[in-house]
Amino acid sequence: MDWGFRFFLNSILLGIGLAMDAFSVSLANGMNEPKMKLPRMGLIAGTFAFFQFFMPAVGWICVHTIAQHFQAFEKFIPWIALILLAFIGGKMLVEGIQNKDSCAEKPAVGFAALLVQGVATAIDALSVGFTIADYDWLMALVCCLLIAVVTFFICAGGLVIGKKAGTCLAGKASILGGVILIAIGLEIWLQGIL
C-alpha cells in the first residue's frame, strides 16, 4: 500500500470502527458524571486513544516479526484479518442489537477501572496488526496514530453526548462499529485474494 487517499481513508475507518466500543463506554461515563470537567474528559478520551494506538502497534510488531521468519504465513493474513474482524464486528453487532434500547446506568469510573475499560475496549484492536502487516514501520505508526486521534475525538464526543443524553445511543454505536469492521475485513480479504 502507498501513502495515497486509500491508506488514510482505511486508517480513519479502522479508527471509527474500533472506537465504537470506547464510544459506548464514554457515553456511560459521561452520563454518570454529568458535571465532568474538561481535564477529566481529556483523561478518559486520552486513555481510550492510547490503548487504541498501543494494541494495533503490538499486533503489527508480532505479525511483522512472524511474517519475516515464515514467508508462507503472509498469504494467510487476509484470511486471518477477515475472520478476526468479522468475529469482532459480528460480536459488536449482536451486542448492539441486544442493547440498542437499553438505557441502564453504570457506576462512575475510577482510574483503575478506566484502565480496565481502555484495555477491554481496545483488545480487539490487536487484530489490526494483521490488517496492516504489509505496511512498513512508518506507515504502521501513522495508521496507529490516526486510529488514536479518531478514537480520542469520538470518545470526547461520547462523553459530551453521554452527559446530555445518557447511554441510550450506545447500542446503535456498536451496530455501526460492527458494520464498519466487517466491511474493512471484507475489503482486506478481497484485496488479498485478488
What is the reported pLDDT for 173?
Answer: 62
pTM, full prediction = 0.71
Q: For the chain, what is the largest distance between any 2 Cα atoms, rounded to a whole number of angstroms?
A: 55
Helix residue spans in the chain (DSSP H): 5-32, 38-69, 77-98, 111-122, 128-131, 137-165, 170-193
Q: Which pLDDT belongs to residue 192?
A: 74
CB-facing half-sphere around the CA of 162: CA atoms within 13 A: 32
Ranges of the chain whose pLDDT falls below 50:
105-106
Q: Are 131 and 81 in contact (CB under 8 A)?
A: yes
pLDDT at position 106: 47
Name the residue among 20, 56, 42, 19 with its Cα closest to residue 144.
56
Question: How many Cβ atoms from other residues are within 10 Å of residue 179's Cβ?
Answer: 16
Residue 142 vs residues 4, 29, 36, 138, 193: alpha-carbon distances, Å:
13, 29, 31, 6, 25
Helices (H), 127-169: 128-131, 137-165
Residue 51 is placed in which grid cell? 490503548
Nearest-angstrom CA–CA distance, 95 and 171: 7
What gap in Å lies between CA 36 and CA 133, rounded to an integer?
39
Contact present, 125 and 56 (Cβ < 8 Å): yes
